[in-house]
Structure 1
Amino acid sequence: MSRLIGLILLLAGLSYPFAVYFGQQQLSPRVFALLLGALWLARLLIQAQRPGSRWMAAAALAFCLLLGLADDPDLLRWYPVLMSLFCLGLFGLSLKFGPPLIERLARLREPNLPEAGVRYTRQVTKLWIAFFLANASIASALTLWAPLSWWALYTGLISYGLMGLLFAGEWLVRQRVRGLA
């Protein structure tokens, strides 16, 4: 059940900009708040023991509450910013309190990661932190000053493309670094 809720939240997050773009005229922000709030509440109840789950769910629920009470369509555009800030927080906190998130992922495949690999994963974690900071900044600027169509295009398509490029680029660099070692 926990994986299903996580998958639904992921799909909701991916489709959110397009749902806002196409549904804003037909649905009240309160409907968005209710649907998102229900998903985050379910995640909190099911995955409360995971690191970061409580504070992320609490912040998302606070956002949903604010969205529901204000019933302001402009607030709908801040959700992708919140998601980027969540990712920034997860990567940043893992770097500070360790082990870095990328190192944890690397150790799933290579449990005895050499020191050079640990240093590399630390740098990659810093790269992801910079990406999420830039992504949150761009999404904020689009929220404040751009038309809804630009916001939806960036938060619903371009930002995911950039994430994919960063992921693929890092994978290629990692293959090269591993080949030279």
Structure 2
Amino acid sequence: MARMRVVAFGLVSLAYPVLVYFALGRFEPRWLSLLLFALAVLRALTTRQALWWVAAAGTGLLALLATVLNQALPLKLYPALVNAVMLVMFAASLRFGPPLVERMARLQEPQLPPFAVLYTRRVTQVWCGFFVLNGALALATALWAPDRIWALYNGLLAYVMMGVLFAGEWLVRRRVKAAHGHG
């Protein structure tokens, strides 16, 4: 059951910008806020981490604003909120350690060599930069771009950029490992 909630949350989150875009001309924003409320509830049901509870509350607040004001802007701010939460998670892990990418790497290789620890710290910093850029673009498209540009960026281009970052990091990681005799 918990696994189904995680999958449902992931699918709805990924499709969210496209769903909102296609529904905006057909439904009032207050009705679309139900989708955002569903995301808030799913997030709350799929986590035990305090930061994600804050994100669920923020999502609920955006949904409430969309309902009360009957405006689309709170609905369009959700991707910016997600980027802000991810930035806080990654940046906090740099400050209070170990970096989030190191934690993920240790799931596959518990005894990371020193060069890998430094590398994972750098990758965590790169992801922080990505979340700043992506969050700023998500916010800018929500505030100033037409709905179709907002949906194109947040529903496609942001994911393409994330994929490019993942692929680029994978290629760099291979080179770093090879340079240290771990290839």
Specify if TM > 0.5. yes
Shift of 1:108: 0.6
1:38 alignment counterpart:
38
Q: Which residue of 2 aligns with 1:109?
A: 108
AA at the equivalent of 2:35: L
Quick check: 2:63–2:75 contact (8 Å CA) kept in 1? Answer: no
The percentage of aligned residue pairs carrying the same residue is 44
CA contact (8 A) 1:14 1:156 kept: yes
Q: Which runs of 5+ in 1 are unaligned?
A: none
Aligned-residue RMSD, C-alpha:
1.5
Query: Secondary structure at the residue paired with 1:52?
Result: helix
Cα drift, residue 51 of structure 1: 5.1
Partner residue, 1:100? 99
CA deviations over 1:11-42 (Å, ceiling 9, x no partner) = 11111111111111112222222232134224
Higher relative contact order (CA 8 A, sep 6+): 1
Deviation at residue 149 of structure 1 after TM alignment: 1.3
2:118 is aligned with 1:119? yes
TM-score by length of 2: 0.91
Superposed CA deviations along residues 65-113 of structure 1, whole A, max 9, x for unmatched, are 2222221023221111111112111111221222111001100111001
State whether residues 67 and 76 of structure 1, in contact with CA within 8 Å, keep that contact through their aligned partners in structure 2. Answer: yes
2:131 aligned with 1:129 = no
Partner of 2:5: 5
User: Which deviates the most, 123-132 or 90-99?
Assistant: 90-99
Retained in 2: the 8 A contact 1:5–1:39?
Answer: no
Residue 67 of structure 1 corresponds to 66
- TM-score for both structures, normalised by structure 1: 0.92
Aligned counterparts of 1:137 and 1:13: Cα–Cα separation in 2: 18
- In 2, Cα distance between equivalents of 1:69 and 1:57: 18
Distance in 2, Cα, partners of 1:96 & 1:4: 33
Moved more, 93-102 or 103-112: 93-102
Q: Which residue number corresponds to residue 90 of structure 1? A: 89
Measured in 1, the distance between the counterparts of 2:143 and 2:42 equals 31
Aligned amino acid, residue 5 of structure 1: R
- Confirm or deny: 8 A CA contact 1:102 1:125 kept in the other structure: yes
CA distance in 2, matches of 1:144, 1:42: 26
| 1:81 alignment partner in structure 2 | 80
Paired residues of 1:2 and 1:43 also in contact (CA < 8 A): no
- Tell me which amino acid in the other structure corresponds to 1:10: G
Q: In structure 2, what is the Cα distance between the partners aligned to 1:55 and 1:74?
A: 20
Q: Which runs of structure 1 show a deviation greater than 6 angstroms over 4 or more consecutive aligned residues?
A: none
**8 A contact 2:6–2:46 mirrored in 1:** no
Alignment partners' CA distance in 2, 1:91 and 1:66: 28
1:167 Cα deviation after fit: 0.4
Equivalence map 1:44-63=2 (5 Å) = 44-47=44-47, 49-50=48-49, 52-63=51-62
How do 1:142-181 residues align onto structure 2 when only pairs under 5 Å count?
142-181=141-180
